Amino acid sequence: MTGSSPKPDCDDSESSEERFSLEEFFVAPWGLANEERPVHLLWDGDIERLELRIADPVELVEGYNIQGDISDFVKDLPGEEGYCLLRISKSDFLVPGYFNTKFRIPEIFENAMTGQPIQAEFLLENGEVIQYSSQTFTIRPQLELLDSPKEIELTEGDESVTLPVHMQYIGFGMAEVEMDMEGEGDLISKGESIHHDILRAMAESGILTKESEELGPIPEEWKQKHGVEIPDEELRDIGNEVRELAREDKLRDEFDEATLERIVDALEEGEEHEAEIYDHIEVMLLDSILNAVDRHPAENVRMANPNAHLEIESRVREFVLSYDLKDKIGNEYKSIEVPINIDDKRPDGGILEVEVETEWDNHELDPDEILDQLEEEI
């Protein structure tokens, strides 16, 4: 993005252009909150001073071609409130004719795009001042609830229910969404389905003791086919979660108690056996994730726990789905909450299994196209 045409303070514009010319004024036209963005200035001619004003909020990261740290040139002057002012004299440049800096916008704005002006001001040797203006936009992804059930009505014999939730993602590339579920203010489930899937797979695959002959090596062609590996530390964390899940009393009806105990023991064995078990867990985990992605395809949204499974007791009369959005550099945005009432008419109550199936509409935005529209409006 280039700056506007020079605006000299005097009438001798032709002589000013002969002595000075701005070759390039580039400002990153857009970026996410807290994402580093560059500013590049290149000029021809002698100057006494460069002043750069960037609207607050802004954090300067570093500067190039200056003698000292970028913070040494930040000035706090009356009448400059609302701007970060950089003042650099010609003697402060290592090499005359250019200046680069990087900055961040630390605030997460509510609008999809929020603009902030940037101004470069050159003081020439004869006292003339020439200004150039540009701007940068802070972008943010957004979630929107399109449709969801308002209430679940349960009748005698109901033990499970599937909830269709329709969401829309509006943004500028990949984002991650994590779904939590709460009832009566208590956390009920947070992505337990994958750990549950792995536990079931372990129970069915013969991972029982270190002497089990059913634990053969993982074929190398499998990893070559998928091209995916999971870090050992992550696998250990997942193994810990599966082990704790296997200890819960609520699983005794689904799995044989002896099988659960052998799985717990196997996960607590030494490093040699641990490696063998975790090779198998890696395969089970990836199979679970790939199956979930097949059920919930989305090009620009990655669900941290896409196939959420929930068990609720009849005493819970309402629960809330919470969709938490995080962008590619880790910024977290306001959650979308989906409250769902439970009208439980079952005479004996009991445990209800709830499967949440989230359908995604993706509305990909092109910041450059939006900028063109904004400039036309201005």
User: Which H or E run contains 317?
Assistant: none
Say what the pLDDT of residue 227 is: 52
Q: Over range 260-283, report the average pLDDT.
A: 69
pLDDT tens sequence across 238-252 = 778 788 888 876 667
pLDDT at 122: 97
Provide the mean pLDDT of the chain.
76
Assess contact for 126 and 142: CB atoms under 8 A: no
For 194-244, write each residue's pLDDT tens digit. 667 677 767 766 555 444 444 555 555 445 455 556 677 777 777 787 888
Burial of 368 (0-12, 13-18, 19+ CB in 10 A): exposed
What value does the mean pLDDT take over residues 82-88? 94
Confidence at 284, pLDDT banded by 50, 70, 90: low
172-181, 198-207, 249-258 — most confident range: 172-181
Average pLDDT of span 43-47: 95
Residue whose tokens read 């909020």: 57
d(CA 280, CA 304): 21
CA distance 43 to 130: 12
Mean pLDDT value across residues 244-268? 76
pLDDT band at 175 (very low <50, low <70, confident <90, very high): confident
Which range (5-9, 167-171, 367-371, 373-377) has the least confidence?
5-9
Kindly tell me if the per-residue pLDDT of 262 is higher than 70. yes
Bond prior to 231 in cis (omega within 30° of 0): no
From the CB of residue 24, how many other CB atoms can be counted at a distance below 10 Å? Answer: 11
Residues above pLDDT 70, as percent of the chain: 67
Cβ atoms 121, 51 nearer than 8 A:
yes
**So what's the pLDDT on residue 101?**
95
Q: How confident is the model at residue 304 (pLDDT cuts 50, 70, 90)?
A: low
> Which percentage of the chain shows pLDDT scores above 90?
32
Query: How high is the pLDDT of residue 311?
Result: 66
What is the pLDDT, as a whole number, of residue 186? 35
Identify which has the larger pLDDT, 238 or 2.
238
Digit-coded pLDDT (tens) for 27-41: 999 999 999 999 999
Higher pLDDT, 231 or 175: 175
What pLDDT, on the 0 to 100 scale, is given for residue 189?
Answer: 41
Report the pLDDT averaged over residues 262-272: 69
pLDDT at 207: 52
pLDDT at 351: 74
At 81 the pLDDT is 81
Structure tokens at 352: 């209800």
pLDDT mean over 353-365: 81
Nearest-CA neighbor of 21 among 5, 39, 43? 43
Asked whether residue 299 carries a pLDDT value surpassing 60, the answer given is no
Task: Give the pTM.
Answer: 0.61
